[in-house]
Amino acid sequence: MRKLILEAAPGVIEEVKWMGTPVWSHGGIICTGEAYKQVVKLTFAKGASLPDPKRLFNSSLEGNTRRAIDIREGEEVDARAFTTLIKAAVAHNSQPKKR
């Protein structure tokens, strides 16, 4: 997933914050990664504002801002759809901020 993020968003900033959490940013946070016993969770900071026609978001769906993708061991994520989602997050971060 990391490789897909880095390929989809040239110029992305990859940092480790908040007790070891990887964070990918490009004009604002794109997503964070967390590893749990049952899943790897990629949480998109502005996921609720992003188009998700392939329905990759499968977690944190109740909120108004974030959305997440939970990936269980052995699961495959549609790489093309994920790349499109990363690009949409970068584009969203590039929009002028509302006042």
pLDDT confidence bin for 19, thresholds 50/70/90: confident
pLDDT score of 99 more than 70: no
Would 62 be classed as within a structural domain? yes
Each residue's pLDDT tens digit, 40-75: 999 999 999 999 999 999 998 988 999 999 999 999
Q: At 41, phi and psi to the nearest 5?
A: -110, 125
- What is the CATH number for 30? 3.90.1150.200
Does residue 99 form part of some domain? Answer: no
- 3-18 pLDDT, tens digit per residue, is 999 999 999 999 999 8
Whether the pLDDT of residue 97 is over 80: the answer is: no
Q: How many domains does the chain have?
A: 1
> Domain for residue 69, yes or no?
yes
DSSP string, 76-98: ---HHHHHHHHHHHHHHHHSPPP
Residue 41 is part of which domain span?
Answer: 2-94
